[in-house]
Structure 1
């Protein structure tokens, strides 16, 4: 999953000056107005979550979503758009492997997902500069989605030559990477805008449903881009260029409809933004906080053990004879589960220690690595048809990996919402999400390179070795050491008082 994408409730990096109040939403240019200490105190007293907090209950005990269903549907649709390029970015390595790409080249192509890691660097611009007549969020969302649609149409027209034929011409890895890098840069920009829009589109007591829309919408979009295309291609109903062209038209059509028919709420005068420079100063102050630094160490390392199982393994199964459409079918069987888990898991992430759930399922997710390697080793490539019992085991292992991955994601997002300083929630949440995205993006890139480096299967090798298994063993050992070495640190992070996570306004003076 893309990632994991990924995604969370946050207002994309608002700006704060010394003695500012709650970070104000932007306007056409970066302008600011100082606030009083009273407004800061009021903001600090607000519930600490633009995210995964428990919903306000109606008199019958359930959340009050009256009047919200249209907004929830729109958010799901916008996040679905975001997931489609992520799914295409995952299916292309399988096609490139068929056309003769090496694992090193696949590692280069994996860089196309990195804009989601780096979006913090331009989030203040997205949050601060906008055209009042268009709307704060639509100023960035509408052109981003339109350009994505145009880029998809262009890429579709060039795709056959870029992929090569596997014999006389090799895949144009650098060009493909550059095109998908631009598409994902625009998707990350759209993500900043939509995340911020969700916080004003939904009522405050329902803001936690933004995370649900994010997870469910991105997962469905990923399924359309990955499983949807693979199924259509297998039955020769639609080629990849045709599928990408259809997606481009879909992007443009949805964007035009939203631009015309969905209006943004006007900004209150007190919520006018401050300068872009102040947002970056605020962000640097946050990075200097000790709890944030410890959390970064955790997020940067905790997904290393899963890189091979979840990124390299699908390509390896294909190399060993499993058709890529079968891999997509296995994934599609589990899609309803992917969508439901974030909704169901929210009940286990309340309270003061949301990361307890992540740490509880970590050993199970770690075990899926060696299990996947064992399945790959015993892949019956020479048997046709491949026995159903093999696919049954494959579904079980993938289901275990996917379930634990989703539970860890929900747990992580709940912790972000729990510790985020409500007075600076947008900047805080964007920073935490960027840290989480970075921890999820670099291990797969490194794993692809290491598998190639540690493989030696030619006649000149003293010892024939498949780097896939070597890296799997290495990742598993690192995972065990990580689990033993960070337990106390993670427990300490959860036990810190709320004041230790707050960026008090006097720190900015």
Structure 2
């Protein structure tokens, strides 16, 4: 599905307010003994004259901000935005294949247990925090802090895709034999893309002027989602034989698309090689050890630990729906091109809901929208499960297809609202002195919460499924392969028919919904309200 679950620190970039200082003029470290006293000192009341002067200062700043808005964007910033969009676009190509279209192509040949193996390819993107300090700390000064990583990562991505372009279609015809090769290849692609993302995120903070810094997240949204859309929606449609026959166009093979992506990656890398990277005078060089020590200090805060636990289990109720529902609909007769069209229709609604989420998340209670969106998302997950159960025989009626599109848009809307509310909360509580590291930690655990259960969900569908291959009237063989299209074809070649006596999808969906409901009532909502009530000063490490 769309790339909304790929969160990075750039998704919540804002110009941080000036941090209050101690009477000595320096930043202070707060501890349990003197923190409250210092907070009271810093929040002392202003007298009448000071309040009038503060009001004048605010008015002046407001006029200056309005003047900045009216000021035209410089050509340097425009060039930087184009560069960022292209870099994120290149990153979206392998992610759209690994997380979007390949699972649907593999589903025709693999069981859910085998598909769970391939799902491991998505893990590096959720674990990039583990090596992000290395990317920030090590580089070649002659090449540039960011180019030292972007250039080799894009060359590696292009090389792997170029090599796969000779064998991908052959491996996809019999993926059970090449499942480990495919998993290793796309794990490498996601790993190198995640490393490139770390470098691009850092470069975005210095490419743009301070006035136009918020455009960094806009560039990421446009570039990454467009690349993901091309590799997922567009590729699935053009790869479909039914779609090519209907519109009279040549079918786009996986080999050809991988070759196109590799050539694009090489071309952009050559362009980046000649792109000058300005010295980041404002950025302080830090050792790898000190970067990891800062991360550990943040993770030791009790409130942060509680929030990380919330992130790890916040999406458990929707996991069966996110990982399996679309695959089941395809299995029951929904065409890949129809699914691609559904995602394409949903795309502009994602953009609108993202803007709306940011608007609703303003104020002192950014988690309010996150909390309220839980209930409709759980209801929509139940509706999706029932839609799979009552899925009509092909061809899919128009009214049911409209129902699929409506359910997809509504689910996407709720997911984006929750994401926006949580991202706003991250911005509110992060210590501005170590804002980048703080935001990356929270975004990583948020991504991981939607990644780690996927393997177990897919394995559970096969574990709870019971299917037999009936050959004649006297022979019935239990066959786990009957849960895949390839297994059904093999059974048919023997003159039999696959009969699914129990579909594990419904059991796994019920388990996820049950755990989700219990966690929402007894943990997620009460904990979110408590975390939201904690003053931002209590989340700080240095200030």
> Scaled by the length of structure 2, what TM-score is found?
0.80
Aligned to 2:252: 238
Q: 1:57 to 1:79 in 2, by over 3 A?
A: farther
Aligned to 2:540: 502
CA distance in 2 between counterparts of 1:365 and 1:65 reads 41
Asked if the contact 1:96/1:171 (under 8 Å) is kept, the reply is no
CA distance in 1 between counterparts of 2:381 and 2:283 reads 48
Q: What SS does the corresponding residue of 2:5 show, helix, strand or coil? A: strand
- Stretches of structure 2 that go unaligned for 5 or more consecutive residues are 14-18, 30-38, 43-61, 245-249, 469-475, 479-499
Q: 1:347 to 1:202 in 2, by over 3 A?
A: farther
CA distance in 1 between counterparts of 2:106 and 2:292 reads 40
Greater RCO, 1 or 2 (C-alpha within 8 Å, sep 6+):
1
Q: 1:200 to 1:111 in 2, by over 3 A?
A: same
Aligned to 1:223: 229
CA distance in 2 between counterparts of 1:312 and 1:94 reads 10
Aligned to 2:194: 188
Q: State whether structure 2 residue 434 is matched by structure 1 residue 424.
A: yes
Q: 1:188 to 1:455 in 2, by over 3 A?
A: same
CA distance in 1 between counterparts of 2:28 and 2:142 reads 32
Aligned to 1:16: none
Match of 1:247 among 252, 261, 269: 261
Deviation track 1:168-204 (CA, whole Å, cap 9, x = no partner) reads x734111100000000101110111111111112233
Superposed counterparts of 1:41-440, under 5 Å: 58-59=65-66, 66-67=73-74, 68-89=77-98, 90-98=100-108, 100-165=109-174, 170-234=176-240, 235=244, 236-261=250-275, 263-268=276-281, 271-381=283-393, 383-384=394-395, 386-440=396-450
Q: 1:11 to 1:93 in 2, by over 3 A?
A: closer
Q: What SS does the corresponding residue of 1:132 show, helix, strand or coil? A: coil
Q: What SS does the corresponding residue of 1:464 show, helix, strand or coil? A: strand
Q: 1:354 to 1:74 in 2, by over 3 A?
A: farther
CA shift, 1:161, in A, is: 2.8
Asked if the contact 2:96/2:227 (under 8 Å) is kept, the reply is yes
CA distance in 2 between counterparts of 1:61 and 1:488 reads 42
Q: 1:65 to 1:92 in 2, by over 3 A?
A: farther
CA distance in 2 between counterparts of 1:56 and 1:71 reads 27
- Stretches of structure 1 that go unaligned for 5 or more consecutive residues are 13-21, 23-36, 46-54
CA shift, 1:210, in A, is: 2.6
Q: State whether structure 2 residue 14 is matched by structure 1 residue 5.
A: no
Q: 1:11 to 1:479 in 2, by over 3 A?
A: closer
CA distance in 1 between counterparts of 2:352 and 2:516 reads 27
CA distance in 2 between counterparts of 1:495 and 1:194 reads 34
Q: 1:63 to 1:218 in 2, by over 3 A?
A: farther
Q: 1:65 to 1:276 in 2, by over 3 A?
A: farther
CA distance in 1 between counterparts of 2:195 and 2:63 reads 30
RMSD: 2.8
Asked if the contact 1:456/1:465 (under 8 Å) is kept, the reply is yes
CA distance in 2 between counterparts of 1:378 and 1:356 reads 34
CA shift, 1:64, in A, is: 5.8
CA distance in 2 between counterparts of 1:56 and 1:187 reads 42
Q: 1:434 to 1:117 in 2, by over 3 A?
A: same
Aligned to 2:32: none
Q: What SS does the corresponding residue of 1:271 show, helix, strand or coil? A: coil
Asked if the contact 1:303/1:440 (under 8 Å) is kept, the reply is yes
CA distance in 1 between counterparts of 2:519 and 2:208 reads 39
Superposed counterparts of 1:16-35, under 5 Å: none
CA shift, 1:110, in A, is: 0.5
Asked if the contact 2:9/2:436 (under 8 Å) is kept, the reply is no
Structure number with larger C-alpha Rg: 2
CA shift, 1:63, in A, is: 7.5
> Scaled by the length of structure 1, what TM-score is found?
0.85
CA shift, 1:271, in A, is: 3.3
Q: What SS does the corresponding residue of 1:114 show, helix, strand or coil? A: helix
Q: What SS does the corresponding residue of 2:466 show, helix, strand or coil? A: coil
Q: 1:356 to 1:171 in 2, by over 3 A?
A: farther
Asked if the contact 1:148/1:186 (under 8 Å) is kept, the reply is yes
Match of 2:459 among 449, 466, 470: 449
CA distance in 2 between counterparts of 1:490 and 1:65 reads 41
Aligned positions, number: 464
CA distance in 1 between counterparts of 2:82 and 2:293 reads 36
Q: 1:343 to 1:41 in 2, by over 3 A?
A: farther
